[in-house]
């Protein structure tokens, strides 16, 4: 897939032509320097804007117009990488070529612009009522997270794991700032988004460039150029000085264990690729180290996995076991990590992990939405397109020696145990 820059006025407009799919997808990405105290507002915005607009001023009217556009899909989110915040609105519609109508995309574009630039506000402000509604919903969401023990234990773990980094990672909901949100803060964040953020527009699918250029030039003529922001996508994880062990004993079910690691290496592209490979062979599939030992050999757990987040450069292991077996399970995770550090990674597992990653990359080509999103991330982070051949070559070039060298720098940072009673656990 190519990303083609179009020179239409001052727009950051890019086309991703693709004849494989029957849809056209358009993404509006607002880029800002992440403001840690505005995490709630940014997340509220992506919800409230997709609820109604000035013209379609209640959810019924808004959903009706979406259904009339052949079930228009709307995806919105606020995502942070390093010190960058990306507010994305993605709309997915059926290509006119597959409908008995030739203006569905044009109407979709009108609706996208209505959603983003003509929200239901009065004299520049969202209503107090709608903001209160969202606050109530978020408070109820927090209660639901607490009630669901998997979500709760993960949320608690992440709070511990990122306790020195709360401002950098922008988790939602940000409970400590929830009371500060009101119609004024939400409205000013919205204004900031549409006037100060850099806007990028990406359009993917099978369409005529000239026709699209004309349409965009006509509909987005009001967008003005903004100064380019200095963006830093690297993670600056601040580890604990010593292992942070937290045991919470309010569970009335099985024990959930999370182990978070400090990756003491540079957040560079090569290290990201190596760590992705390690994640796969350590806890990514059923022949991986953890699954083979903890589930298959020792039957300690139904599931065990590792997870590397390349945006935040954080890595953790999660598992669930009985309270009697929690110490054995934690010990075994550590044993397997040490074995890997000692080079106990056989060639079959190493190559299999590479193949798994390559396969997943190839499968990206089967979804236009995934392709578009991968391209957007690649574009911002690496100023490059998502190039499958290049990505595969990067994986194939990784060596076991480099991987073993890298993982020497991994150390346990946080151990969070959600259990039913206080268990004295000794670290080896």
Partner 1 sequence: MEEKLIMEDEAIIEEILENGLKVYIHPKNKFVQSLASLQVNFGGRDYKYQIADQDYTLPEGTAHFLEHMLFENNGNTLSDFFIKNNADINAFTSRRITSYYFSTQNNFDALLASLLDNFIDYDFSEKTIKKERNIISQELAMSDDSDEEKAYKSLLRLMYKDRSIYQDIGGSKTSIKSINKAVLNQAVTHFYHPQNMSLLITGNVNAIKVLELLKNHPFNTKKWQTYQPIKRMIDISDKSGRHFKKIKPNLDTNIVEIGVKIPEIVFRDKTLEHNLLTSPFFSLVFGNSSLLYRILKSKNLYNYSFSAAPVIEDDYGFFNISIETKKPKLFIKTLMEYLTNLPELMLDEKVFKAYQRGEIGRSIKAFDDVKKTHYLVKKMLMDEVDIFSFVEKSKSIKLPDLQIYLDIFKKNNIYLVEYLQQP
Which residues contact partner 1 (rule: CB under 8 A)?
A: 20-23, 58-60, 63-64, 66-73, 92-94, 98-99, 132-133, 136-137, 139-141, 143-144, 146-149, 250-254, 285-287, 295-296, 299-302, 320-322, 352, 355-356, 358-359, 362-363, 365-368
Whole-angstrom distance, CA of residue 96 vs CA of residue 340 = 53
Residues 6+ apart with CB under 8 A from 108: 24, 26, 69, 72, 91, 93
| Minimum distance of partner 1 from residue 91's CB (angstroms) | 12
Q: Which residue, 246 or 365, has its beta carbon nearer to partner 1?
A: 365
Q: Which residue, 70 or 171, has its beta carbon nearer to partner 1?
A: 70
Strand segments, DSSP code E, in 157-213 are 198-205
| The two structure tokens encoding residue 70 | 């052949």
Q: Which residue, 133 or 266, has its beta carbon nearer to partner 1?
A: 133
| Minimum distance of partner 1 from residue 426's CB (angstroms) | 24
Buried b (16+ CB within 10 A) or exposed e, 390-415: ebeebbeebeeeebbebbeebebbbb
| Minimum distance of partner 1 from residue 272's CB (angstroms) | 22
Helix (H, G, I), strand (E, B) or coil at 125: strand
| Minimum distance of partner 1 from residue 251's CB (angstroms) | 6
Burial class (CB in 10 A: 0-12, 13-18, 19+), 290: buried
| Minimum distance of partner 1 from residue 89's CB (angstroms) | 18
Helix (H, G, I), strand (E, B) or coil at 2: coil
| Minimum distance of partner 1 from residue 423's CB (angstroms) | 17
Q: Which residue, 262 or 320, has its beta carbon nearer to partner 1?
A: 320
Helix (H) or strand (E) holding 88: strand 84-94
| Minimum distance of partner 1 from residue 147's CB (angstroms) | 4
Place of tokens 């880029």: 31
Cβ proximity of 168 and 235 under 8 Å: yes
Whole-angstrom distance, CA of residue 312 vs CA of residue 32 = 17
Cβ proximity of 83 and 34 under 8 Å: yes
| Minimum distance of partner 1 from residue 299's CB (angstroms) | 4
Cβ proximity of 232 and 83 under 8 Å: yes
Q: Which residue, 137 or 221, has its beta carbon nearer to partner 1?
A: 137
Q: Which residue, 307 or 360, has its beta carbon nearer to partner 1?
A: 360
Strand segments, DSSP code E, in 101-217 are 198-205
Q: Which residue, 177 or 251, has its beta carbon nearer to partner 1?
A: 251
Q: Which residue, 45 or 314, has its beta carbon nearer to partner 1?
A: 45
């Amino acid at each position: 897939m190519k990303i083609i820059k179009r020179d239409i006025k001052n727009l950051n407009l890019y086309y991703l032509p693709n004849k494989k799919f029957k849809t056209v997808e358009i993404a509006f990405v607002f880029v800002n320097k992440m403001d840690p105290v505005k995490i709630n507002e940014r997340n509220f915005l992506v919800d409230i804007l997709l609820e109604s607009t000035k013209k379609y001023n209640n959810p019924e009217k808004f959903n009706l117009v979406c259904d009339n556009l052949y079930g228009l899909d709307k995806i919105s989110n606020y995502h942070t990488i390093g010190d960058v915040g990306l507010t994305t609105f993605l709309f997915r519609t059926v290509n006119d070529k597959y409908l008995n109508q030739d203006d569905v995309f044009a109407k979709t574009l009108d609706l996208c612009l209505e959603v983003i630039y003509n929200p239901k506000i009065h004299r520049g402000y969202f209503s107090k009522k709608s903001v209160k509604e969202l606050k109530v919903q978020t408070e109820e969401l927090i209660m639901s997270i607490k009630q669901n023990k998997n979500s709760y234990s993960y949320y608690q773990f992440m709070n511990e794991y990122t306790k020195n980094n709360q401002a950098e990672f922008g988790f939602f909901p940000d409970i400590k700032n929830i009371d500060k949100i009101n119609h004024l803060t939400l409205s000013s964040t919205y204004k900031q988004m549409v006037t100060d953020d850099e806007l990028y527009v990406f359009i993917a699918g099978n369409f005529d460039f000239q026709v699209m250029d004309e349409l965009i030039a006509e509909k987005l003529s009001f967008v003005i150029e903004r100064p380019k922001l200095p963006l830093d996508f690297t993670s600056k994880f601040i580890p604990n000085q010593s292992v942070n062990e937290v045991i919470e004993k309010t569970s009335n079910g099985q024990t959930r264990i999370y182990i978070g690691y400090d990756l003491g290496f540079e957040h560079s592209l090569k290290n990201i690729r190596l760590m992705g490979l390690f994640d796969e062979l350590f806890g990514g599939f059923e022949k991986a180290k953890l699954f083979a030992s903890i589930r298959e050999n020792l039957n300690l757990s139904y599931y065990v996995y590792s997870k590397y987040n390349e945006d935040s450069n954080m890595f953790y292991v999660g598992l669930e076991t009985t309270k009697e077996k929690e110490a054995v399970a934690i010990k075994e995770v550590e044993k397997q990590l040490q074995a890997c550090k000692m080079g106990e990674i056989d060639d079959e597992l190493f190559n299999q992990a590479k193949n798994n990653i390559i396969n997943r990359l190839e499968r990206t080509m089967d979804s236009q939405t995934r392709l578009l999103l991968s391209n957007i991330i690649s574009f911002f982070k690496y100023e490059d397109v998502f190039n499958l051949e290049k990505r595969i070559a990067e994986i194939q070039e990784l060596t076991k020696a480099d991987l073993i060298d890298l993982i020497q720098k991994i150390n346990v940072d946080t151990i969070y145990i959600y259990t039913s009673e206080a268990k004295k656990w000794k670290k080896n």
